Amino acid sequence: MSQLFLRLVCSFVVVLFQTLSASAQQAAVPATTEGDYVAKNFKFRSGESLPELRLHYTTLGKPARDAQGRVTNVVLILHGTGGTGHQFLQPVFAGELFGPGQLLDATRYYIILPDGIGHGKSSKPSDGMHARFPQYDYDDMVAAHHLLLTEGLGVNHLRLILGTSMGCMHSFVWGETYPDFMDALMPLACNAVQIAGRNREWRKLAMDAIRNDPAWKGGEYATQPLQGLRTAISLQIIAGSAPLWQQKLWPTREATDKSLDDYFKSRLAAVDANDYLYAFNASRNYDPSPQLEKITARVMYINSADDFINPPELGIAEREIKKVKNGRFVLLPISDETRGHGTHTRAAIWKQYLAELLERSAH
């Protein structure tokens, strides 16, 4: 009995220790804080304006300042088309970066995860204006986030901007427009030229599918134009595909079909056609290539070799990064761990390069 009792006590102590350790680690990571900044009389490059532009954000950690009042530990992380700042709280990203002792330890850094114009809880067409919402572009989205940081959160400098997909493109716009505002840029999954060729082709097909659906009604629909939306989302599925991983994940026709059916059931219920259309149309005049020489921050630019949207055979990234005096480009080889365009959110695959960037850009 005494040996059994001793084993039970030991087991209890082990479980208690593990529980306390897990709780301590969880407590060491600051809880997220959410808020909204309202930009008054925001003027868009189209000439349109909004009396109030709402910008939603999520933060982790607290800002730190040096003796001169300059913020030294702020990390801005920018999402892709159709995404939100909350996507970076999932384990494959936050679990690899934000924990105690990790590269972007939230007890050391002030991490800002904003929702771009037209996305998440920021102002967007589906709030009520529908197709009368201003035709925003990437420059507008970057200018709005600059206001959020400077006027809303009192941030006067960034340690790092990390952007995925659309956020990758925004990173280049940030680097050109506000070259002294950040120490480092990490663009993931994009090209630094105007969107043309196949990339423009599938995007235009997706937008046209919505506009050509009779149920769209010029954006003033009573119910979602599901036929157009389904076609648009289908094109996006192909663009975001990863053949090696998907073949292993769904090795049969039945498994593949079920996955698609399940995806459409959840996705169609969560998408608004105007929001979708505006988000994709925002890329229409993106082209940072003529001004890449203005970027002075350290740049670690990464694409994945299985990215349908940014295929490596184009050679664009290798060519354009030469214009960035402190830039480096890395092409991740296809592996069991890459996910096509979605590799940008799997931090375990590329975090070694983030560590290098943080070291190279330290002052």
Secondary structure (DSSP) of 309-354: SS-GGG-HHHHHGGGSTTEEEEEEPP-SS-BTBGGGG-HHHHHHHH
- Is residue 49 one of the residues assigned to a domain? yes
Q: Looking at the chain, how many residues does it have?
A: 363
- Is residue 356 one of the residues assigned to a domain? yes
- Determine the structural domain holding residue 90 and report its residue range: 33-194+287-360
Report the range of poorest mean pLDDT among 1-10, 106-115, 156-165, 235-244: 1-10
Query: Cα separation of 89 and 111, whole Å?
Result: 11
pLDDT of residue 25: 41
> Is the pLDDT score of 12 beyond 90?
no
Q: Are residues 82 and 142 both part of a single domain?
A: yes
Query: Cα separation of 224 and 239, whole Å?
Result: 23
pLDDT of residue 21: 41
- Is residue 176 within 8 Å of residue 292, measured between CB atoms? yes
Query: Cα separation of 160 and 350, whole Å?
Result: 16
- Is residue 138 one of the residues assigned to a domain? yes
CATH number at residue 204: 1.10.1740.110
- Residues 25-51 have a mean pLDDT of 85
Query: Cα separation of 204 and 215, whole Å?
Result: 19
> Is the pLDDT score of 28 beyond 70?
no
> Is the pLDDT score of 347 beyond 70?
yes
Can you state the angle between helices 166-177 and 138-147, rounded to 10 degrees? 70
Tell me the per-residue pLDDT of 304-334, one tens digit each, with 9 for 90 and over: 999 999 999 999 999 999 999 999 999 999 9
Q: Are residues 101 and 131 both part of a single domain?
A: yes
pLDDT of residue 30: 59
- Is residue 25 one of the residues assigned to a domain? no
Query: Cα separation of 168 and 283, whole Å?
Result: 12
Tell me the per-residue pLDDT of 245-266, one tens digit each, with 9 for 90 and over: 999 999 999 999 999 999 999 9
Tell me the per-residue pLDDT of 43-92, one tens digit each, with 9 for 90 and over: 999 999 999 999 999 999 999 999 999 999 999 999 999 999 999 999 99
Q: Which amino acid is at 13?
A: V
Q: Are residues 271 and 162 both part of a single domain?
A: no
Predicted confidence band at 4 (pLDDT cuts at 50, 70, 90)?
very low
> Is the pLDDT score of 15 beyond 90?
no
Tell me the per-residue pLDDT of 128-144, one tens digit each, with 9 for 90 and over: 999 999 999 999 999 99
Report the range of poorest mean pLDDT among 68-72, 209-213, 344-348: 68-72
- With vertex at residue 300, the alpha carbon angle to CA 296 and CA 303, rounded to the nearest 5 degrees, is 135
> Is the pLDDT score of 8 beyond 50?
no
Q: Are residues 326 and 340 both part of a single domain?
A: yes
Q: Which strands, in side-by-side order, build the sheet including 33-43?
A: 33-43, 49-60, 110-114, 74-78, 160-164, 184-188, 298-304, 327-332
Q: Are residues 244 and 265 both part of a single domain?
A: yes
Q: Are residues 178 and 321 both part of a single domain?
A: yes
- Is residue 312 within 8 Å of residue 305, measured between CB atoms? yes
> Is the pLDDT score of 24 beyond 90?
no
Tell me the per-residue pLDDT of 147-205, one tens digit each, with 9 for 90 and over: 999 999 999 999 999 999 999 999 999 999 999 999 999 999 999 999 999 999 999 99
Q: Are residues 129 and 210 both part of a single domain?
A: no
- Is residue 314 within 8 Å of residue 195, measured between CB atoms? no
- Residue 94 makes CB contacts below 8 A (sequence gap 6+) with 88
- Is residue 12 one of the residues assigned to a domain? no
Query: Cα separation of 309 and 240, whole Å?
Result: 7
- Residue 122 makes CB contacts below 8 A (sequence gap 6+) with 53, 54, 55, 56, 114, 115, 116
Q: Whose CA is closest to 288, among 126, 169, 110?
A: 169
- Is residue 15 one of the residues assigned to a domain? no
pTM value surpassing 0.85: yes
Tell me, rounded to whole angstroms, the distance of Cα 305 from its chain centroid: 19
- Residues 218-224 have a mean pLDDT of 97
Question: What proportion of the chain, given as a percentage, has pLDDT over 70?
Answer: 92
- Return mean pLDDT, the chain: 92
